[in-house]
Structures are given as structure tokens and as C-alpha cells.
Amino acid sequence: HQIEHVGERHALYYHLRVKKSLFRKGFEHYIAFVRGDESQLLHAEENVSVSMTCTNRELPMLLRVGDINQPTKDNPSFASFRNITRPSVPLYPVLDGSLHWSLLSNMSLNYMSLLEKDALKQILRTYDLPSMNNRQAARVSQKKLDAIQRIDTKPVDRLFAGVPVRGLQSKLYLAQ
């Protein structure tokens, strides 16, 4: 990053890198701080405050139904609870940059774009995060997408709270 001067001080920057872990499944995050006056503070101690949301990677997958049953300080004393299903499988992000372009192109869409079968399939594929991490989920999703036969759309008028409203009615045809 380029260092900027803000008033009498140098502006501070940070750089975050995310890489696949070499030692276990998942990712490692690295943060570097950049500043123009580093020579003056080379051996100075500093505090950094970071807010993070972290996981235990795949450790929760070892839990069974009913294992999550410990109250926290925020739980009311009269409530008891336990998990009724196993924790979900972690979904890791796609780091190759391809997802960014798909998400950006979807931001330019409007409802008219969703009226075409191929455009709808592409949007559904873009937001199908489980299939990006799991081959079986990808096969199931592809079968569902292949079942989309056509979309028929026509304009309709409806009364909404006594006021006529014009809109579109779309019918999605699927193969069984």
C-alpha cells in the first residue's frame, strides 16, 4: 500500500492474506501492518485490537445429536435445550477469485434477467456454496439445475389492499 500523510501523522494500513493451510483442512489468515514511520518505532511495543469470528474447523462434526446442551450466561434459567441434528459441515471459501466476478455480474441483474432459464441457472449455481466444497452436493445440485425445462412469464394485474398492482407471473417447469 502507498503511505499517505494525514495531518502530522502517517496513515496506517493493514494487509490481510488468506491461504490454504499446509497442515490441516481449512485456511490460515495472516495480517501485516504497514506504516511509513517504522524506523522510529522499530522496537516499540504496541497493542493491536482485532475483532474476529473464528471456528474450530471440523471439530464440531464430532458432536452427535444432543451433545450441544450447556447453557450460557445469556440463556434463561427456565429453558433447557439440546441440538436435534448434527452440526453442519463447514463451508470453506473459494480463493481463486472466480466467485468475485460471478457475484459482481449478478449485481447488475434485475428481475427481467431471472426470466431466462440459463440466467436463472447461473445465479443459482453462483450462490450454491455447498457444491463448491462437496462433489456429492455438486452432483445433486447439477441434477436439480438440469431439471429446469423452461420459464413462462406473463403480465398480471392483482388487487393488493384494494389497489390494482401490475406485476409478472412466472411458471417454472421442471422435469421429474
pLDDT digits (tens, 9 = 90+) for 65-103: 999 888 888 888 888 888 999 998 888 777 777 777 777
For residue 103, give the 3-state DSSP assignment: helix
Model confidence over 38-57: pLDDT tens digits?
666 667 777 888 888 888 88
CA 102 centroid distance within chain: 13
DSSP letter at 134 equals -
Q: Is the separation of the CB atoms in 154 and 171 below 8 Å?
A: no
The answer to whether residue 4 scores a pLDDT higher than 60 is no
CA 162 centroid distance within chain: 40
Confidence at residue 37, expressed as pLDDT on a 0 to 100 scale = 63
Confidence at residue 102, expressed as pLDDT on a 0 to 100 scale = 77
Mean pLDDT over the full length of the chain: 84
Q: Which residue has the higher pLDDT, 140 or 101?
A: 140
- Of 123, 126, 117, which is closest to residue 147 (Cα–Cα)? 117
Distances (CA, A) of 164 to 157, 160, 171: 6, 6, 21
- Of 174, 111, 169, 170, which is closest to residue 145 (Cα–Cα)? 174
Angle at 92 between CA 86 and CA 94, to 5 degrees: 150
Model pTM greater than 0.75?
no
- Cell numbers for 160: 393488493
Query: Cα separation of 148 and 144, whole Å?
Result: 7
